[in-house]
C-alpha cells in the first residue's frame, strides 16, 4: 500500500515537473518587459537587416573591407520606433546597431579570409605567377 502511494506520488511529481518545463517558456514570454522585448526585436532585426554584400567587400578589399563594415554609417530604423514606449526604444536601439554592425563585420571578415585562402592556394599551385 505504502509502495503504491509512493509510486503514485512519484508520477504526480514527474507530471508537474514536465508541465513546468513546458510552461516556463510561455510564462517567461508573457512577462517579457518592454525593454527586453526591444532588445530581442533589435537583435533579431539587426541581424536580419545585415547585408551579405559586405562579404563581397571583404573579399575585394581585405582588412580594409572589414574596417569599413565596422565604421560604415548605419541608418536609424525610425519607422520601427513609431508608437513604441521609451523602455522599448531604449532596449531596441541598444541591440539593433550592435547586432547589425557585428553581423556585417563577420560577413566582411569571411570574405577577407576566403580571399586570403584563394590567394594562398593560387600561390602554392603556381608561384611563378606571383614573381616579378
Partner 1 sequence: MIIAFLLLSYSASFPQSSQTIQVQFERQYNEKGVKEIVKGNIYYRAPGEVTVVVNSPVKQWMIFAGKQLTIYYPDDKQAFQFNAQIPISLPFFEAFIGVVKTDYGLTDIGYVLSTHKTRGDTLFTYWSPPKKTSKTLGEFTLAYVSDKIVYAELKRRDGTTASRSFYKNHIHYGVTYFPLEIYTIRYTKKDSILEKVVYTNPQFDKPLPIEVMNFKIPTNVKIEEINW
Contacting residues toward partner 1, per CB under 8 A: 48-49, 51, 53, 56, 73-79, 81-86, 89-90, 93, 97
Q: Please, which residue, 3 or 83, has the CB nearer to partner 1?
A: 83
Task: Provide the minimum distance between the beta carbon of 84 and partner 1 in the complex, in angstroms, as a whole number.
Answer: 7
Q: What is the 3-state secondary structure (H, E, C) of 27-69?
A: HHHHCCCHHHHHHHHHHHHHHHHCCCHHHHHHHHHHHHHHHHH
Task: Provide the minimum distance between the beta carbon of 73 and partner 1 in the complex, in angstroms, as a whole number.
Answer: 4
Q: Please, which residue, 82 or 124, has the CB nearer to partner 1?
A: 82
Decide if 93 contacts 42 (C-beta within 8 A): yes
Amino acid at each position: 500500500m505504502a509502495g503504491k502511494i509512493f509510486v503514485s506520488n512519484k508520477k504526480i511529481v514527474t507530471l508537474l515537473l514536465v508541465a513546468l518545463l513546458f510552461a516556463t517558456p510561455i510564462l517567461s514570454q508573457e512577462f517579457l518587459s518592454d525593454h527586453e522585448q526591444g532588445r530581442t526585436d533589435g537583435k533579431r532585426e539587426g541581424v536580419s537587416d545585415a547585408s551579405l554584400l559586405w562579404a563581397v567587400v571583404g573579399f575585394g578589399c581585405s582588412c580594409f573591407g572589414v574596417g569599413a563594415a565596422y565604421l560604415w554609417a548605419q541608418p536609424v530604423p525610425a519607422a520601427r520606433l513609431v508608437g513604441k514606449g521609451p523602455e522599448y526604444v531604449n532596449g531596441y536601439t541598444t541591440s539593433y546597431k550592435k547586432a547589425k554592425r557585428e553581423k556585417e563585420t563577420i560577413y566582411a571578415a569571411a570574405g577577407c579570409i576566403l580571399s586570403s585562402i584563394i590567394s594562398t592556394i593560387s600561390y602554392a599551385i603556381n608561384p611563378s605567377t606571383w614573381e616579378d
